[in-house]
Amino acid sequence: MMIEETLRWRFAMARTPSTMLPLGTPAPDFSLPDVVSGQTISLSTFADKPALLVMFICQHCPYVKHVQEELARIGRDYKDRGVGIVAISANDVEKYPDDSPENLKKMAETLGFTFPFCYDESQEVAKAFTAACTPDFFLFDAERKLVYRGQLDDSRPSLPDVPVTGKDLRAALDNLLAGKPIDPDQKPSLGCNIKWKPGNEPDYFKQA
């Protein structure tokens, strides 16, 4: 592997945790295009859903690649259980063309995503959620108050013996749908930092 590719891989693998937005925070409104259907997706798209899961992911990140099949399974498993789900990618596509809308569409179609996959070109939606990494998860209740933010499970690309199960996020989803309390002791998600456009980095971003 060339030196440039090695450096880029190491940067992409920078371990960045969630900001852990305070529980109870209202869901920010947004309006973004779905890369597959071309339709505009907003908070009101899910008005009839008792739960809303917002996932910040992308195509190139090794942390996302590690769990992408589970993300697709979650979409299938909770589609008919009243959970609205939307995935969003906010990466700078000039420096990371693998995360272009065209490649996001290919990813969604290959994995069989049953939920919209939106492209946040301005990165303002990612900032509104204080999204920091890929993957980053935000679960809101019927009143669109934040009830879970944190990791999918304990699996990591560097831990091959830890299976990808989605247990942490699934537990939060199941408890929310059952009207049970969600454990507030939540572990941050961990992944590649969102690739902010030069000069567009939010205050909460710290360069690795």
Could you write out the DSSP letters of every residue in 145-183? BEEEEE-S-S--TT-TTS----HHHHHHHHHHHHTPPPP
In this prediction the pTM is 0.92
Count other Cβ atoms within 10 Å, centred on residue 165.
15
- 31-68, pLDDT tens digit by residue? 999 999 999 999 999 999 999 999 999 999 999 999 99
What are the tens digits of pLDDT across the range 79-103? 999 999 999 999 999 999 999 999 9
Query: For the domain with range 3-193, which CATH number is right: 3.50.50.60, 3.40.50.300, 3.40.30.10, 3.60.15.10?
Result: 3.40.30.10
Give the burial string for 75-93 (b: 16+ CB within 10 Å, else e).
Answer: beebeeeebbbbbbbbbbb
